[in-house]
Amino acid sequence: MKLYRSAVHQGQWVAYGKEIGWVVFPARENGWQARQPARGVDPVHLRQVPLQLAANAGIMQGAPVPAPAQTAKPAQTWRPKKRAA
C-alpha cells in the first residue's frame, strides 16, 4: 500500500493498494475507519509519503502485510574440477 498527500485534499490522506484501489480518508485519529473511494484525484497533485505518517489514523491495521521476501539460495562454494589422472 502507498500513502499520498494531496495539495487539493487538505486534511485528508490518499492511499492506493492493489486490494482496495484508491481511497481517501481523514487525517485524524482512526480516520482509516471513515475511508471512501477516491474520486477526482489528480496524480499531478499527489506526493508519496511514508506509510507510517498515517499510523495514527489506523492505516497500519488496514494495510495488507507484504509477503516475506524470498530468501536467495546460498551461493555455492566454487571448487576446481578434479583433473583426470
pLDDT at 85 over 80: no
Mean pLDDT of 56-80: 58
Q: Quote the CA–CA distance of 65 and 73 in Å, as a whole number.
A: 24
Other beta carbons less than 10 A from residue 2's beta carbon: 13
Mean pLDDT for all residues in the chain: 79
- What's the pLDDT at 66? 47
- What's the pLDDT at 69? 46
Answer whether residue 51 is part of any domain: yes
- Rounded to two decimals, the pTM is 0.67
Count of domains in the chain?
1
Answer whether residue 29 is part of any domain: yes
Answer whether residue 80 is part of any domain: no
Range of the domain at 17: 2-62
